Amino acid sequence: MSAVMSADGLEFEEQQIAELLECRFGDGMVYLPKTKPRQLLYVAVINGFIDTEGYLTRKGRMLLARYF
């Protein structure tokens, strides 16, 4: 089972991150739904799936392609 680790040791499944990456506007900016924990967004940024401005990165698009 694949997991992504954050800097503070929290584990999030790649599938949870992929679900977060699906929540984006037409221009590629990812938003955090109320149902998702804030740490998930943090982990996605730390691991390079979202850039610091909130946009989906190439690595993020590759993760989405594996799940959707």
Q: Could you read off the pLDDT of 19-40 as tens digits, one per residue?
A: 999 999 988 899 999 999 999 9
Residues of the chain with pLDDT > 90, as a percent, come to: 72
Domain membership of residue 47 as a residue range = 3-67
* Number of domains, the chain: 1
Sign of CA dihedral 12, 37, 33, 7: negative
- pLDDT category at 8 given cuts 50, 70, 90 is low
Residue with tokens 């221009």: 27
**Predicted TM-score of the model (pTM):** 0.83
Burial class (CB in 10 A: 0-12, 13-18, 19+), 49: buried
Residues of the chain with pLDDT > 70, as a percent, come to: 87
